[in-house]
């Protein structure tokens, strides 16, 4: 592997020249396309996430990254017919990795547009076909079957970025970053995320089923590689709502909860039966469904939304939305730092959360615990902050 590669540009097209280099060999090779700096920032963060998920859960994993945070993360668990109607993908694309990526991509169909996809295992032909259908800027994986590589190398008229990472590579214990001519150095965040972090249950309710232990771990690992502040809602191995990069935690929670609710509302029977214009592209269909479900559209947005349908459908009432949202399987809710106020718990519960993991350590821990007890929720204090910048 090379020790240095030239990049198309840095964070913006006018920031040239730009390069990626290492004291030894680079831990990846470019199999197709040419990366820019943001591509590599997304890819290297995403690879660490899916690699750690694979190690901790034992399941193939995929992530969809945008601007150095995951828009969605998924494990390779089977999907049902309701899911496939809401997030259509041919069954011939649903290998374990293809399923994991389909789950990751479902979490936020709007934000995943133009993503960097990451896979924990060698990409097979079926997973490549799942990725081929999506608007994506590149991918990273520890390997590619020959047919998969050929499929991906044809994307974007042959310019699609394909990175192959050395799965055995381990970085050193320290990492540095230059900011305004100043070099910052710290120990790499190599703190293990495993079930031992969930032993300190502080609520009256203490039962933590194994599948929710797994979901809390998925959330913790996801946030380890998400721009802070950040929270996540997880269901059945899929991070269905991620709130990243907000200055206040309640804004993170509101954002993530809204995404989780939209993920579930897209599976409402009325939404599944929507008839959109046949000439719409998949992104245009996603935008139309998003518009159908949102209640904050401006008049110009409403005009654009209505054109996606031959006949304007009747939108869901507040009661219909609440009735459907109340049917969601209990979610797991994870925060990368302590919850400073109970409002986060109240909003998470309204979105369907029952299981919570957070570091603890707030001056208002007692109030937050009391809020969980009022709602019958189970909360573990991990004792570990997972900020990422």
Active site residue 80: no
Q: Residue 335: enclosing H or E segment and its boundaries?
A: strand 331-335
Q: Quick check: 294 and 316 in contact, CB under 8 A?
A: no
327: annotated active-site residue: no
Q: Is-contact 78 71, C-beta < 8 A? A: no
Task: Given the residues 32, 129, 229, 344, select the one marked as catalytic.
Answer: 229
**Cα 289 to Cα 271: distance, rounded to the nearest angstrom:** 8
Say how far apart CA 118 and CA 64 lie, in whole Å. Answer: 7
Active site residue 389: yes
Query: Which among 381, 374, 375, 373 has a CA at the least distance from the CA of 356?
Result: 381
Which one is catalytic: 32, 59, 66, 287?
A: 66
Q: What is the Cα–Cα distance from 75 to 81, expressed in whole angstroms?
A: 18
Instruction: Examine the residue annotation and report whether 67 is marked as an active-site residue of this protein.
Output: yes
Helix ranges, 58-165 (H): 81-86, 96-106, 125-132, 146-153
End-to-end CA distance of the chain: 28
DSSP one-letter code for 218? H
CB 54 within 8 A of CB 217: no
Tell me which residues are annotated as active site: 66-67, 229, 389
């Amino acid at each position: 592997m090379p020790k240095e590669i030239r990049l198309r540009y840095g964070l913006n097209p006018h920031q040239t020249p730009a390069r990626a280099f290492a004291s030894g060999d680079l831990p990846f090779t470019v199999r197709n396309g040419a990366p820019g700096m943001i591509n590599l920032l997304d890819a290297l963060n995403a690879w660490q996430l899916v690699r750690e998920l694979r190690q901790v859960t034992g399941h193939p994993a995929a992530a969809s990254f945008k601007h150095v945070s995951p828009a969605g993360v998924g494990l390779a668990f089977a999907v049902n017919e309701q899911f496939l109607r809401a997030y259509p993908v041919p069954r011939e694309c649903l290998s374990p990795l293809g399923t994991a990526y389909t789950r990751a991509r479902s979490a936020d169909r709007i934000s995943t547009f133009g993503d960097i996809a990451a896979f924990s295992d060698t990409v097979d032909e079926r997973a490549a076909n799942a990725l081929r259908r999506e608007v994506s800027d590149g991918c990273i994986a520890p390997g590619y079957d020959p047919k998969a590589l050929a499929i991906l190398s044809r994307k974007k008229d042959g310019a699609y970025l394909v990175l192959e990472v050395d799965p055995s590579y381990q970085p050193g214990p320290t990492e540095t970053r230059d900011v305004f001519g100043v070099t910052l150095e710290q120990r790499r965040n190599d703190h293990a995320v495993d079930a031992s972090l969930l032993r300190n249950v502080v609520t009256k309710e203490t039962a933590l089923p194994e599948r929710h232990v797994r979901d809390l771990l998925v959330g913790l690992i996801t946030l380890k590689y998400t721009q802070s502040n950040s929270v996540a809602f997880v269901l059945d191995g899929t991070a269905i709502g991620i709130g990243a990069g907000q200055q206040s935690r309640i804004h993170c929670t509101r954002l993530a909860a809204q995404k989780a609710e939209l993920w579930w509302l897209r599976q409402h029977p009325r939404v599944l039966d929507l008839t959109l214009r046949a000439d719409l592209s998949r992104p245009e269909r996603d935008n139309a469904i998003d518009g159908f479900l949102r209640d904050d559209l401006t008049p110009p947005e409403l005009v654009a939304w209505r054109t996606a349908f031959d006949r304007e459908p009747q939108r869901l009432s507040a009661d219909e939305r609440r009735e459907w949202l109340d049917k969601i399987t209990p979610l797991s809710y994870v925060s990368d730092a302590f919850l400073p106020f109970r409002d986060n718990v109240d909003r998470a519960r309204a979105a369907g959360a029952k299981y919570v993991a957070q570091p603890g350590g707030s001056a208002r821990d007692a109030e937050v615990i009391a809020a969980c007890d009022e709602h019958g929720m189970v909360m573990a204090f991990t004792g570990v902050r997972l900020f990422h910048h």
